[in-house]
Structure 1
């Protein structure tokens, strides 16, 4: 088991960016990192500081996959 197995990544990160941009994210200065059931996390490209935005899924797992599933898909 890996410490990252419980993190979630979106199949379509564009949704995470659109949601965060509506809430004030400067998409030119941040990169998407991961999601949890309730938040999307972004890292500033210069300061490496994290920021989070409440996501639209509200805990629903549609279109979200765990890091373990993501790694499995990447290896295929």
Structure 2
């Protein structure tokens, strides 16, 4: 099943952690581990938030780091 493509981005409420996540992803990006530590979330919560951002219309890009199992997530503007 294909996800619906959204042309309009649904921004998070000002001052919430999701807004902080968007800011970090736009400015520098990060691994799930780094994002979880910065936000005080568990890794599965961070991954769910990344999925939710995709559903809201953000272009979340995932880049594999070398041969490691970690990925860096960024929002391309």
After TM superposition, the score normalised by the length of structure 2 is: 0.26
More helix per residue: 1 or 2?
2
After TM superposition, the score normalised by the length of structure 1 is: 0.26
